[in-house]
Structure 1
Amino acid sequence: MPSFMHINDPLRDQERMGRKEAHPLPLTTYLIVEALKKLRAVGASEEAATRSRVLWRGMKNLSVSEEFVSKGGTELAPMSTTSELAVAVGYSLSA
């Protein structure tokens, strides 16, 4: 199993959260959160911080509910995105 799955899978596990079970890598996830806060603070001071951007995420092997299609949703774990649609499509079509 790739190492990122040890971080992301528990973050997406709604049942684990419902049981109030701790994340198996609490320090790692804490450090990721703190690092993202620092990066966001640095980025917020740049002139382009308020410029609108379109980001894409390539996804594969999944289905979404009608509720998700109509209302949207929130990703519960870190994810990669790209400003290039072709990159996201390429990932979605990969094996």
Structure 2
Amino acid sequence: MGQQETFRPRLLCIRNQQIIRWFPLMPLYTFTISAGEDFSDTQDLPDDEAAWQQAVRTLKDAESALSSGKLSWSLVVEREECVCLRIDVGAHRKV
């Protein structure tokens, strides 16, 4: 995709002199907003609580971009490629 992978410090898990797995020092969280055009941002954060706080800040920033034409959107937070949080926002017009 043309993106260069950034260096992320990791811990090495070794058992019986065999490499078992590399563990990141802090989990990598990806924040994706789906509202017609997707927006994505990735951050190293210490835990799910920090990811929740960042998700709330992201929603506050995104509210200025809401329009009456798009009545539903979502914010998905993934920890190391596993969904750990999803916030769905929807509105209904009264006719």
If the length of structure 1 is used for normalisation, what is the TM-score?
0.27
Greater share of strand residues, 1 or 2? 2
Greater share of helix residues, 1 or 2? 1
With a CA cutoff of 8 Å and minimum separation of 6, indicate the structure with the bigger relative contact order.
Answer: 1
If the length of structure 2 is used for normalisation, what is the TM-score?
0.27
